[in-house]
Amino acid sequence: MQFLKSLLISLTASTLLVSAVQAQSPATAPDAMVRDLSNEVLNAIKADKALKSGDTNRVQKLVDEKVLPYTDFQKMTQLSVGPGWRNATPEQRAALTREFRTLLVRTYSGALGQVSDHKVELRPFRAQPTDTDVIVRTQVVASRGDPIQLDYRLEKTDGGWKIYDINILGVWLVENYKSQFSSQVNSSGIDGLIKTLTERNSQLAQKKA
């Protein structure tokens, strides 16, 4: 179960795109987008041995092509950093977003080998046509094991719906990292957090190698 939790977080970082080259229509319903994108990514993993082996370069390519266009990593990072974000320079914000995205990819790339016959099913979706911030609730199911709760927070933008947070079995990704990041910012500032993330990514890269 913990292994699949890691997998599903990464498809944020962890499940998201109808096509690597087809732009999302702003009119696409958020629940339909999440369903189609989630299953698209899962199918891509099943068909690619390098992805299933946790090849970091292949995982990064998957994120760049399929996840990034439909995920607001900057907002995800901003919320995770908390109040310290307001005082960060544009350069620091860019560095934080880059290192946080890299951390998610490197931390969870090894989980991809566990994907088998998993698929994503939508749970009842309730929202008004005028809503600009919604939660899409899903569950990941396989032929064996209990369904896994996986929910998404999305914001409507000019370019369509963007995912900015994920809830796995009752734990929101942003909230999980916020306590860690806030402590780091309080003790050593934004630069200290950037340094910690950079060092962690370097350690994960060496471990993978």
Q: How much is the pTM?
A: 0.80
Helix, strand or coil, per DSSP, at residue 157: strand
As a whole number of angstroms, the distance between CA 92 and CA 197 comes to: 12
Task: Classify residue 25 by its DSSP letter.
Answer: P
pLDDT tens-digit profile, the chain (209 residues)? 444 455 454 444 444 333 333 344 556 789 988 988 888 888 888 888 887 777 778 877 887 777 778 889 999 999 999 999 999 999 999 999 999 988 887 776 666 666 677 788 899 998 998 999 999 999 888 778 788 888 999 999 988 899 999 998 788 999 999 989 999 999 999 999 999 999 999 998 887 66
Say if CB 56 and CB 105 are below 8 A apart: yes
User: Longest C-alpha distance within the chain, in Å?
Assistant: 49
Kindly provide the b/e burial profile for residues 44-78, where b requires at least 16 CB atoms within 10 angstroms of the residue's own CB: bbeebeebbebbbebbbebbeebbbbbbbbbbbbb
The residue to which tokens 């929202």 are assigned? 127
